[in-house]
Amino acid sequence: MTRKRAVRNERRTRTAGRESQQARRARAPKVFELLAGAHPDAQCALTHKNPYQLIVAVILSAQCTDERVNQVTPSLFRRYPTVADLAAANQQELEELIRPTGFFRNKTKSLLGMAGAVMERHDGRIPNTMEELIQLPGVGRKTANVILGVAFGKNEGVVVDTHVHRLARRLAFTKHDDPAKIEQDLMELFPRERWTDLGHLLIFHGRRVCNARKPRCAECVVSRLCPSSSV
């Protein structure tokens, strides 16, 4: 970490610590509405038709762009159209199909383990509860949040990826680095019905405006509400 970045992080931590929870609660809905107005198209960027396709795509998206995953999944789903087909897949063949997404050996292990567990425990149907999802190989809380929110319309938490992590700290909605603690802070600031949409909005804003190296604060709709703004 560079000294400049360390100084910025320290400033954000001080800001988050000084601001009262009541003040953050008052600022949070304003930020949400502005982001919703700026990104009306914010949604899951992974192309899918059903919960099975979504869980596969999310597993593949680890350390990989959504665009690359969307390039790989059409041929993958033609070859393995159902959970049962994936559970019976040849390991080497599956590795070759998903190789472009990176870390393909670990992802193959996760996909085969997930599919096998879904067949064994859930009769081939992707489960729709947090408790059941996180018991599947390759599925953590972040993945489960995506599945529940996008595929089943259940707001059980906030997806905390690298964009959400970065923006939550820049907006002083949290002082933490641990994703679980960041998620908890966001859940306390925003009503349950907004948790899934909040993740989409922060991700889209992080990609389009508030990027990691050089945030475009002058173009940011929440600049006046952001303690980290340079304008």
Q: So which residues are the catalytic ones?
A: 142, 161
**Residue 77: C-alpha distances to residues 64, 68, 73, 152 (Å):** 18, 15, 6, 20
Two tokens, residue 113: 């383990």
Closest CA to 97 of 115, 122, 110, 80: 80
Residue 198: name the closest of 162, 167, 165, 158 by CA: 158
CB contact at 8 A, 186 and 174: yes
Query: CB-based contacts of 67: which residues, under 8 Å, 6+ apart?
Result: none
